[in-house]
Amino acid sequence: MRGDLERVLFDEPAIHRRLDDIAAQISSDYRERELTVIAVLHGSLMFVADLLRRIPLPLKLECLSVASYHGEAQSSGDVVLKLATASLSGGGQTTVPHVAGRDVLILDDILDSGHTLAAVRETLETGKPNSIRVCVLLSKKKQRAREVVTDYVGFEIEDEFVVGYGLDFRERYRNLPYIGVLRRELLEQADI
C-alpha cells in the first residue's frame, strides 16, 4: 500500500504528538462539563479512538455514519446521515442522537467541501444541544461549497486526496498507521 502513495504527510509519531495537544486543549475547555461526542464514521474511527483515550473527562459517545461520496473522490453534496447503533433487524436509524441540553463535540476525519459537517451540524442543532463544537483531524485549505466553523483542527493540508489513519479511497487504505497523498494516477484511473 505504501507504494500507492506519492508521499507521507504525517507519520504515526507526528499524529500522536498533535493528538496530545488537541486532547489537552479539549480537556481544559470542557473541564467540569460532560461532553457528548458525536463521531462521524468510518473515516474518524482511528482519530476518535486515539483522541478520546487522551481525554480524562466523563463523556458519552454516539456514532453517526454518513455517506456523500458514493465511492468517488468528490463529495456529491447529497449527504445521508444514519445513527450507527446496530439493531438486530439490521441497519441504522435516521433519528437525531439525544443531545438536548448537552455540550456536543463533533469529531470528523477531514473537512473538504463542507457538505458533510454542515449537514451533521444542522441535524444536531434540531436536537437543541446546549453547545456544539467541531473538531477535525485534517482541514483542506480551499474554497468550500459550505462554510463550516471548526474549533479544533489537527493539521491544515493542501487540496490533495489523502488516505490512511482511517481515511479511505474506495474503502481501502484505512488501516495505514500514517497519512499520505494518494498517487494521482490511481485517482484518475478510478474516474474513468
- Residues with a catalytic annotation lie at 112
Grid cell of 17 as nine digits: 504528538
Is 181 an interacting residue with respect to ligand IMP (CB under 6 A)?
no
CB of 168 closer than 8 Å to CB of 174: yes
Burial class (CB in 10 A: 0-12, 13-18, 19+), 135: buried
User: What one-character DSSP code corresponds to residue 57?
Assistant: S
In the beta sheet, which residues pair with residue 41? 65
Residue 103 interacts with which of Mg ion, ligand IMP, none, CB < 5 to 8 Å by class: none
- Can you tell me the distance from the alpha carbon of 136 to that of 188, in angstroms, rounded to the nearest whole number? 27
Give residues 35-74 in contact with ligand IMP (rule: CB under 6 A): 43, 68-69
Residue 102 interacts with which of Mg ion, ligand IMP, none, CB < 5 to 8 Å by class: none
Give residues 149-188 in contact with Mg ion (rule: CB under 5 A): 168
Residue 108 interacts with which of ligand IMP, Mg ion, none, CB < 5 to 8 Å by class: ligand IMP
CA distance readout (Å), 112 to 34, 59, 93, 109, 176: 29, 27, 26, 10, 20
Q: Which is nearer to Mg ion, 108 or 168 (CB)?
A: 168
Q: Which is nearer to ligand IMP, 97 or 166 (CB)?
A: 166
Q: Which residues bind ligand IMP (CB under 6 A)?
A: 43, 68-69, 75, 108-116, 161-163, 167
Q: Which residues bind Mg ion (CB under 5 A)?
A: 168
